[in-house]
Structure 1
Amino acid sequence: MADASTVTIRTRKFMTNRLLQRKQMVIEIIHPNLANLSKADVSQKLGKLFKSEPDLVFPFGFRTQFGGGRSTGFALIYDSMEAAMKFEPKFRLVRQKLATTEQKSRKQRRDAKNRRKKLRGTAKDKKKVKKQK
């Protein structure tokens, strides 16, 4: 079996997005005879390639080509941690353990869902906002 040194990462459609303080790109990973790389490994390699910290690299959306050996995905490399915290969606921050979610009990979530079902239209959103305050 091949080792990890045979893995090649190429970038396509590279763009520097000054407004969101990040570099964004499509990445192509060629990994013959190997399973796909973990996102942590991809972050390490892209961080080294673009002279950035691995914490600021957010790879996501990977699809493996049929038959294996090649995967494509998307990556964002932020200029600073502040920019990442400001612009990155919360679920991706949670995936990289930069944020936490408060997990309510199943019973509480179910009760809130059933209360919302009794309301109509935008009242559901108002009820949600009222709960959060």
Structure 2
Amino acid sequence: MNDTVTIQTRKFMTNRLLQRKQMVIDVLHPGKATVPKTEIREKLAKMYKTTPDVIFVFGFRTHFGGGKTTGFGMIYDSLDDAKKNEPKHRLARHGLYEKKKTSRKQ
């Protein structure tokens, strides 16, 4: 991991109803390519003293000219809460949900 990447959180909110913390994430990476989501999850896990498997990040957009990316992140209290509240496609990205293959023949 490169130390020139800075992660800032804003609009932090604790959502007790859904057992999670949600926030807007700003990633500052001047002169570098967009930072992978796995690296962002690991750094957030260190910041909030939790494990990366309960952190879900999505919706990242790099600003024009590069150097700054903004997205959304959620930290669940437990993995069961995440499985209950997260959409299936985000769970599939983490490898927590397997889509059933349907037969095309009638």
Q: TM-score, normalised by structure 2?
A: 0.95
C-alpha deviation, 1:45, in angstroms: 0.4
Aligned partner of 2:14 in structure 1 is 16
SS at match of 1:48: helix
1:32-81 Cα shifts (integer Å, max 9, x gaps): 11111111101100011001110000000000000100000000000001
Runs of 4+ in 1 over 3 A off after TM superposition: none
Which of the two has greater helix per residue? 1
Aligned partner of 2:77 in structure 1 is 79
1:17-44 Cα shifts (integer Å, max 9, x gaps): 0000000000000001111111110110
| 2: CA distance, partners of 1:47 / 1:89 | 21
Aligned partner of 2:48 in structure 1 is 50
C-alpha deviation, 1:104, in angstroms: 3.1
User: Where do 5+ consecutive residues of structure 2 fail to align?
Assistant: none
The count of aligned residue pairs is: 106
Aligned partner of 2:65 in structure 1 is 67
The structure with more radius of gyration: 1
C-alpha deviation, 1:4, in angstroms: 1.6
SS at match of 2:3: helix
Point out which structure has higher relative CO (alpha carbons under 8 A, 6+ apart).
2
| 2: CA distance, partners of 1:6 / 1:84 | 31
1:69-98 Cα shifts (integer Å, max 9, x gaps): 000000000000110010011100000111
| 1: CA distance, partners of 2:69 / 2:100 | 33
Q: Give me the identity figure in percent.
A: 55
| 1: CA distance, partners of 2:55 / 2:15 | 14
Matching of residues 1-133 of structure 1 within 5 Å: 4-104=2-102, 108=104
Which of the two has greater strand per residue? 2
User: Please, what is the CA RMSD of the aligned residues?
Assistant: 1.5
